[in-house]
Chains A and B, each alone.
Chain A
Amino acid sequence: MSTFIQTVIVGLRLGSVYALIALGYTMVYGIIRLINFAHGDFIMVGGYTIIFTVPLALALGLPAWAAVLAAIAVCALVGMGTEIIAYRPVRKKGTNMSALITAIAMSLFLENLAQAIPAIGPNPKVADQMFTAGGFRIGSVTFEYTTVITIVISAVIMVVLYMFTQKTRLGRAMRCVSEDKAAATLMGINVNHTIILTFAIGSALAAVAALMYMAQYPRIYTTLGSDLGIKAFVSAVLGGIGIIPGAVLGGFVVGLFESFTTSYISSSLSDAVVFLILIVVLLLKPAGIMGKNVGEKV
């Protein structure tokens, strides 16, 4: 029984990291209908920023996790830069396909650029301890502080984000643009600014996800982004891409499945299982768990 509960907790912890990343995918997909393959690499950017700014944070007398503030800023800038330099020109001229290929190219570019920068290089880097070590026990189940903090912070961020999109003017503008760009323009919404804002928020979430990930696995490497990103993307599709609560649900489903596969079957099969679920869900309910089937306009 205690193994079971422990597995559930690990699943929730993994799931909350996936959910944070999936939110970034789903927000961008919702607004410009593009799978932002580079989103995974924003996590990598955030991770390295944290590693390089932790000494600075410690020197200022702040806790190590304060480095995430710098990471959030850097990631938001990288996200906005990607949109302005690469995605917008292609979106204006090209088809959906060329935008998708640009996204893949952007992802490759970030990954390989990181490897080519001498300070980063292809070898993994080890991160410092992010949160206080230790934990507490309830019965025979151990709750690590890191796990608790990860789950709580993710939950808070998700609620805040949901409130933002539902209640504020900017959030309403975002939903408006994702529904109909032309109508949004007519209502006086600056579509380009809204898209850039979406990229900034999504990338900032990737930075937080990087912190959560490093608190658990203090090792970071340049292809980390694609590994995490693909699973997070699967989460977004599972929940119904473009739907914010769907991404959260999908993240937890993928996290739980992964943790159960790892502890009850085999850790080397967890990737295959994740994709198997994706294929099954897409066959049974192509729009995702929370998605609605929308008829196609002619």
Chain B
Amino acid sequence: MKNNKTAQGILLNTIVIVVLFALFQALTAAFGGAGSFKLVLVPSLWQCCYLILLAASLNLVLGFLGQLSLGHCGFMAIGAYTAALLSLACERAGVFTDKSGAVYILIIFACILAAGLLAAVTGLLVGIPALRLKGDYLAIITLGFGMIIVNVINNLPFCGQDGLAQGSAAASLYKTGLGFGSKAKVTYLWIALLVTVLCVTLMFMFVRSKYGRAIRAIRDDEIAASASGINVSSYKVLTFTYSAFFAGVAGALYACATSSLSTASFAFTNAGILNSTFVVVMVVLGGMGSLTGSIVAAVIMFFVNYQIANGSWVAALPPFLNGVFKYPMLVYAVVLIVVIIFRPRGIFGTYEFSLINLAGDIRRARVRRAEAKAERKEAKAHA
């Protein structure tokens, strides 16, 4: 019976995804050439894709494992530079010339995979020393890692300027084999969507497997978990590595969506939205321990940030507020503190949105609310 329901759920989700995708393709066919579809919506979707991957993958560590990692963008940087340099190497070797065709698509996928794998290897190397320790050390070591990786990339000659053999040590890489323009972004949007759906599915499978149960047990009580025969440190390292893999994939998507890479975008904090702290904000806002929450929060935060940066209503605000909005991280810091104090579980808590359970969830929520109301009434009557 239970298996039957799982199968139904998978079927339903697949159908919905396929229908949505078909709908989107139809929209692309109809409006693909038009201005705001091509220049606003599609680039936004690309950004949402890698933000979703970043938030969901950090949630594995922060929400499900209960460890704070502050260098998530470091893994993203590794992924982005790997993908950019690998594709550049292919271009210089003459494997593809005009950024199109079946070979090019194959190379994109190879770059994404390589980016994920290299980030995962780095995650393993960072995680082994950091996760053997109890307490808050992971936060410090990952923070340090995030700074070191930026430092190292700045000093590597093949990661700067024109890249590879023609490069020199610098904070920016101007040449990549990916870096889609707005037309290519429309053409290859299906890659970003496919990769995101695939990765989120893999993460769901992970948290629902016996590994997911084990890491949640570690989060809730480390001593009890290890007494029940869970190898705490190896599960921690496994989760950290798995999470780093998806951060690397997010980095590869980022490399596809931007024409040049700069290490400043992967720092602990900066003026933009792409930094390790922003990822923490997304996860906390969405709910630590809810992948769907992270997805929703990533989209919301993207939208809020887009509005702060580009919205016409910002200019109409009084000058004081206008000045505040020039520093979006100030706003997000306040949001973070308010959410932690008043709703420490975030928007979703540990609830996972699912299509097949939606009706049941709504019914149960209604019953619970009615019960709470009755209880309050009773308490009032007693008082």
Binding site for B on A (CB under 8 A): 35, 86, 89-90, 93-98, 100-102, 104-106, 108-109, 111-113, 115-116, 118, 223, 226, 230, 233-234, 237, 268-269, 271-272, 275, 278-279, 282-283, 286, 296, 298
Pairwise interchain contact B137-A282, C-beta atoms closer than 8 A: yes
Please indicate the chain A residues that have their CB under 8 angstroms from the CB of B330 in the complex.
108-109, 112-113, 115-116
Q: Which residue of chain A lies nearest to B324 when distances are taken between CB atoms in the complex?
A: A116
Which of B154, B277, B326, B341 sits near A108, CB closer than 8 Å? B277
- B205 at the binding interface (Cβ < 8 Å): no
Having A104-B70, A109-B334, one finds 14 other A-B pairs with CB under 8 Å, namely: A35-B136, A90-B341, A95-B344, A104-B277, A104-B280, A105-B333, A118-B323, A226-B268, A230-B143, A268-B155, A269-B155, A275-B148, A279-B129, A282-B133
A272 contacts across to B, CB distance below 8 A: 148, 151-152
8 A-B pairs with the lowest CB-CB distances in the bound complex, closest first:
A112-B330, A109-B333, A275-B144, A105-B336, A108-B333, A112-B327, A105-B333, A105-B337
B329 at the interface (CB under 8 A from A): yes
In the complex, which of the residues A112, A237, A269, A298 contacts B140, with contact meaning CB atoms closer than 8 Å? A237
| B217 adjacent to chain A (CB < 8 Å) | no
Is there an interface contact between B327 and A230, defined as CB atoms closer than 8 Å? no
- A sample of 24 inter-chain contacts (CB < 8 A) reads A35-B139, A86-B337, A90-B341, A96-B136, A98-B344, A100-B139, A101-B336, A104-B277, A105-B340, A106-B333, A106-B337, A108-B336, A112-B333, A115-B330, A237-B137, A237-B140, A269-B151, A271-B147, A271-B151, A272-B151, A282-B137, A283-B129, A296-B223, A298-B223
Which among A104, A233, A269 has the greatest number of chain B C-beta atoms within 10 A?
A104
Residue of A nearest to B133 (CB): A286
Assess whether A101 is in contact with B223, with CB atoms less than 8 Å apart: no
Contact A98 B329 (CB under 8 A): no
A268-B155, A279-B129, A283-B129 given; A101·B284 CB < 8 A: yes
Contact A89/B129 with A272-B152, A279-B141, A282-B137 known, Cβ cut-off 8 Å: no
Instruction: Chain B residues near A118: list those with CB within 8 A.
Output: 323
Which of the listed residues A98, A108, A111, A268 has the most CB atoms from chain B within 10 Å of its own CB?
A108
Is B344 in contact with A271, judged by CB distance below 8 angstroms?
no
Determine if A112 and B329 form an interchain contact, defined as CB atoms under 8 angstroms apart. Answer: yes
Give A94's nearest chain B residue, CB to CB.
Answer: B344
B151 surroundings in chain A (CB, below 8 A) = 268-269, 271-272
Partner of B144, one of A97, A105, A116, A278: A278
Q: Bits for B1-25, please: 1 = Cβ < 8 Å to A, else 0.
A: 0000000000000000000000000
In the bound assembly, the distance between CA atoms of A213 and B91 in angstroms comes to 49
Q: B275-291, CB under 8 A of A: which get 1 and which 0?
A: 00100100010001000
